[in-house]
């Protein structure tokens, strides 16, 4: 058994010596050079394939990281938008509350701030607010916007909601006068617009004149802004002069209104 192991050792030793000897010989080197020349195109191809694989692997992980970064940025942007929107809403609410306070201080009015919760988009003649009988709202109360701009009147009241009929409704009529007080008449709703009617023939409002409620009808408070004159119609065949009025506010552009509930008593 020992002799067998010894013989195996000498055989392997001689084999290694022969390989080393012939590895440095000319024929072997020539064969290796020839074989390398044959395999070189394959080495180039495999190298290019490897480089492309590494490139696309890096591109894939790069796109993945970029996508994750974009998702993170988009999430952060949404959070920022949410915060900005909340701040904007708070600022708007503060401005509306300030406007309510100013109205009360200036005109001794008791007002209720209401949100619009439903609209009549077809003709813009009415909308719903989130205040009702439980909030002290009653039919006939006047509704205004910021700047004391006339919007309409409460036409129907439920427990916690109410319907506002705007001044463009055909049933709406407001005794009015221009801002200088020398031209008076009646503002009527036409369904889609309003007109300043019943103007005396010897009176003529000027284009751009502000039209305000006069309070002489006993139905509307005095001094509420209605609109401004955009066209004057003087026709000899008509008993009165008329003027087309441009509304100061588009009822579709705001989300809040003030309901005038009455007057407040103040001591000086």
pTM higher than 0.85, yes or no? no
Q: What is the full DSSP assignment across 103-130?
A: HHHHH-EEEEEEEEEEE-TTT-SEEEES
- Tell me the Ramachandran region of residue 142: left when phi exceeds 0, alpha when psi lies from -120 to 50, beta otherwise: beta
Q: Angle at which helices 26-107 and 2-23 pack, to 10 degrees?
A: 80
Mean pLDDT of the chain: 76
Least confident of 4-13, 127-136, 186-195, 238-247: 4-13
Q: What angle do CA 91, 96, 98 make, to 5 degrees?
A: 95
List, for residues 82-131, the tens digit of each pLDDT value: 455 455 555 555 555 555 555 545 556 788 889 999 887 666 789 999 99
Least confident of 35-44, 77-86, 177-186: 77-86
Calpha distance 187→173 (Å, rounded): 6
Residue percentage of the chain with pLDDT more than 90: 29
- Tell me the Ramachandran region of residue 181: left when phi exceeds 0, alpha when psi lies from -120 to 50, beta otherwise: left
Partner residues linked to 257 by β-bridges: 114
């Amino acid at each position: 058994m020992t002799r067998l192991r010894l013989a195996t050792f000498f055989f392997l030793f001689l084999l290694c010596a022969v390989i080393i000897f012939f590895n440095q010989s000319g024929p072997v080197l020539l064969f290796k050079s020839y074989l390398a020349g044959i395999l070189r195109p394959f080495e180039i191809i495999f190298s290019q394939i490897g480089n492309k694989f590494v490139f696309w692997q890096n591109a894939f992980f790069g796109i993945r990281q970029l996508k994750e970064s974009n998702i993170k940025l988009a999430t952060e942007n949404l959070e920022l938008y949410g915060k900005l929107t909340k701040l904007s809403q708070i600022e708007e609410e503060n401005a509306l509350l300030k406007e309510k306070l100013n109205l009360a201080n200036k005109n001794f009015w008791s007002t209720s701030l209401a949100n619009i919760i439903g609209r009549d988009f077809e003709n813009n003649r009415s909308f719903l607010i989130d205040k009702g009988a439980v909030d002290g709202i009653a039919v006939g109360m006047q509704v205004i916007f910021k700047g004391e701009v006339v919007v309409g009147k409460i036409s129907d009241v439920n427990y916690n909601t109410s319907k506002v009929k705007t001044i463009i409704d055909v049933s709406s009529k407001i005794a009015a006068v221009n801002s200088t007080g020398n031209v008076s008449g009646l503002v009527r709703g036409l369904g889609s617009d309003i007109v300043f009617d019943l103007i005396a023939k010897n009176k003529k409002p000027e284009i751009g004149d502000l039209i305000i409620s006069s309070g002489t009808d006993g139905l509307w408070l005095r001094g509420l802004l209605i609109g401004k004159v955009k066209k004057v119609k003087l026709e000899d065949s008509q008993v009165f002069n008329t003027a087309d009025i441009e509304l100061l506010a588009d009822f579709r552009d705001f989300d809040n209104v003030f309901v005038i509930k009455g007057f407040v008593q103040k001591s000086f």
